[in-house]
Structure formats: structure tokens, C-alpha cells
Amino acid sequence: MKKTEKPGKNVELPKHLQQLNLFAAGIDIGSKSHFVAVPEGTDEKPVREFECFTADLHRLVDWLISCLVTTVVMESTGTYWIPLFEILESRGLEVKLVNARHVKNVPGRKTDVLDCQWLQQLHTYGLLEGSFRPPEQICALRAYIRNRMNQVRYCAAHIQHMQKALTQMNLLLHNVVSDITGVTGMRIIKAILAGERDTHVLAGMRDRRCKNSVVTIAKSLEGNYRPEHLFSLKQSVETFEFYQTQIGHCDQEIEALLATYDAKIVDNPPTNPDTDAGALSTDKKSAPAFNLRDELCRVTGVDLTKIDGIDSTTVLKIISEIGVDMDRWKSEKHFASWLGLSPGSKVTGGKRLSSKTKPVVNRAAAALRMAASTLYRSKCALGAYYRRMKARLGAPKAITATAHKLARLIYSMLKHGSEYTDLGQDYYEQQYKSRAVKNLKKRAKELGFELIDATI
């Protein structure tokens, strides 16, 4: 009689239950110390605490290497993880940075020791996905760009302080000049700080391109020149000019860093590097002082500014966040989902509960949304799409939908080196009309009717 084998004797565990990373470590990041867990049996004390000083971080890495650890996982806690992450990478260890919300759903693990052990256990079974982190060159560019954005924001705050001081003296310069930090505005403000009070002399400093007349500007400069408000105006101007200088220094660093990037072949280089063909509302004053468009074309191999609504500054922000290698995402759909621009799929019991986009804090997505919002009056196909979506869904959802299209275009151009050609709003409207008529004919046929074109 044939001996029957016990059921499940030779059955292997599913892949997601197998130990994929046998030499994995988990680190619970803190502001003063880090708790580290290594696999049982690799050390007499598998959980240790290390302080955050640089010498202690190197001692932590030496201990991991002595325990034969090859891969490490940690949570993205503030900015405390960055020094340890960089040291671990420099020593040749594979490091994964995970979202804290993805590992906090199990109750009862509220201590640092249990946290690091839980991270180590999850990573051993390969249940954690690392967050996106661009290459080192892109990280450096991202740091410069984010610092520059902060400087621009500080600069804008001091422009508001200047305007407030002028308003308190009832000097309504902002009513007659479009930008008080422009040529006319700064000439007049500096003359006021130098002691000039004759309104006609001040108004005579207007630039010839200024729309308002000398008489109108002179009327706006009649006010109460109180010393405390003049002092506030002086300090605001000095701080504004200081931040302008800082932005200039930051631009020099960005230009030098971009020059170190490898060049890619550009089939159709920009014909007019001084203008952004796709930009509808570009703030030229806050743009870098060097030829940014040419540098971006050299680095990416394509001219992303040909996309309507996208200018060089927007491209720089996006590249500094995502890099130029699109192999990190399987498809344009994965890329749009990572940006938080794809509709959600919250379905239960066969019923869709919500299709809202997931809440994601992503600077690249914010830049794409800002670019999409400038397309409202554009005569391009993307502008026509935005207006149709706005009429149907409202402005917020229309901006997200258009930003989703922009993201797919950027992915395709960077991934395949393809060029973007705008076919115009008339072509888009015709295509939309053809699809609508086709759907109406199909629906009428299903109901037993025939759709007849009344224009024939």
C-alpha cells in the first residue's frame, strides 16, 4: 500500500512570508539618540542605543558591519535621519527610508525598543517599501533650490513690510506703480530715504515706460513722513536688498552645480533661449540670472518648456525633486500616483466610496498645480481641457486633472526623449466633439434609435 504524505509537508511558504532580508537592521530615529535592532543571534545584545553625535554614528555603523548587516531600514523622522542615512550609504549599506504611517498601524508598540524591533522584523520579511530619494547630485540641487525658494519668500515678506510703511505714511505708491520694487518704485523710495520730500521731484524719477503721469504720481506721494515709519521703511529696503544679494549667490551655486551634470543629446535645441515658449505668467524678477533654459535642455536632453504652462523655473523645481531618471517609476501612471495627482480607488463591497486624490506633500506636484492654474486663458489644447474640466468639476479638481496631464507629458519626454507639440484648442475641441457624437450614436443604437445630424 502506497504511503500517503502528510498534507503541506513539502509546501513552501508564500514569498511574502519568507525571510528575504536575513541580515536586516531596524533603526528608530530620535533627536538625542537612535535605537538599533539587529537579528537575534548576531550579537549578545541585539538592541542597542546610540547617541546622535557623529562619533557615535560611526560607532553605530561599525557595530552593524560587525553583525554582518547588509540592509537597514529607518523612519523619516524630521531631519534627524539625514546624517545617519548619509553615513550608512557612504559605508556601502543598503538603506531604506519608510513612511512612519506605514508601520504604526499595529497597537502596543509604543516604545523605542519595540519600534526598532518591529522595523527590523518587517524588513526581514520584505514588507517595507522605501521612500523615493533622488541621486546625490539631485539632492544637492534640491537643497539649493529649496534654500532659494525660502530666500524668495523672505524677500516677498519684506516687500510687504515696505508697502505697509508707505501706507502708514499715506504714500500710495502702489496705486500708481505696478511694482514698488521696480525701477520707478525703488528710485522714489531711495530718494525718500535720502531726504527728498518734493513730490514733483520724486515723480520726475519715473521710468519712461511707466503708464501713470508725473502729476498722478506726485499726488500719490503727498503724505505724513513720520520718523518711525521712515525707519521701518529703511530697514525693510535694506533687508530686501540683502536677500536679493543672497539669491544672486544661490544662483551662482546652482549654475556651477548644473555645469557638472552630464550632457544629453538635444535634437532640437531651443531657438530662442531668452523666452519661455510655454510660460504664460513667468515672474522674470524671481527667475535665476543665468541662461537656465539652455542648461536644463542640456541636462534633460529635451525642452520641457515647450509644454504650455511650464517655464524654466518650474522645470528646475520639478527636476530638483524627481531628477531626470524616470526608471524609478514603472509607468506614467505610477509617476502620477506618486505625485498624488491620480484619482483614488477607495472601493468596498463593489461600491466606490471616494475617488479623492491621496493627501501627499510633494513640491513637484505643487509646481505642476501652479503651472496648470495658469492655463485658464491659454489658446492651447491643455487650456481647452482645463476649461472643460473646470466647467464640469470646478477649479480645484480641474487644476489637479490638468496637473496630471502635465505630469504624464513630463514623464514621457524624460523617459523616451519625445518632443511635445501643441495641436491647439480647435483640434482638441474637434476631437472632443467627435468622441461625444460617437458615444451618443452608440447610446441611441442601444435604445433602438438612430441619431441624425441636423446640419446636413
SS3 158: helix
How many CA atoms within 13 Å lie on the side-chain side of 405?
Answer: 21
**CB–CB of 378/309 below 8 Å?**
yes
Name the helix (H) or strand (E) containing 37: strand 33-37
Strand, coil or helix: 28: strand
Q: How confident is the model at residue 273 (pLDDT cuts 50, 70, 90)?
A: very low
Mean pLDDT, rounded, for 350-372:
86
Average model confidence (pLDDT) across the chain = 85
The pLDDT value recorded for residue 226 is 92
pLDDT attached to residue 1: 46
Tell me which H or E stretch contains 402.
helix 395-416
Is residue 16 pLDDT above 90, yes or no? no
> What average pLDDT does range 254-261 have in this prediction?
91
Residue 446, CA distances (Å) to 292, 332, 442, 451 in order: 56, 35, 6, 11
SS3 261: coil
Residue 122 DSSP code: H
288 pLDDT higher than 50: yes
**Which residue matches cell numbers 526598532?**
116
Q: Which of 375, 381, 395, 251 has its CA nearest to residue 313?
A: 251
Q: Which three cell numbers stand for residue 49?
A: 542605543
Containing H/E element for 24? strand 24-28
pLDDT category at 275 given cuts 50, 70, 90 is: very low
- Which comes out higher in pLDDT, residue 150 or 265? 150
- 389-413 in b/e form (b: 16+ CB < 10 A) is bbeeeeeebbbbbbbbbbbbbbbbb
Least confident among 214-223, 244-253, 271-280: 271-280
Q: How far apart are CA 402 and CA 339, in angstroms?
A: 13
Phi/psi for 395 (5° steps) reads: -65, -45
Question: Which cell goes with 20?
Answer: 528575504
In terms of Cα–Cα distance, which of 384, 413, 155, 451 is closest to 304? 413
- Taking the C-alpha atoms of residue 297 and residue 276, their distance in angstroms, rounded to an integer, is 12
Q: Is the dihedral of CA 191, 193, 195, 199 positive or negative?
A: positive
6 pLDDT more than 60: no
State the DSSP code for 325: -
pLDDT confidence bin for 291, thresholds 50/70/90: confident
Band of residue 420 on the pLDDT scale cut at 50, 70, 90 = confident
**Residue 166, pLDDT score:** 93
CA 268 to CA 306: how far, in whole Å? Answer: 11
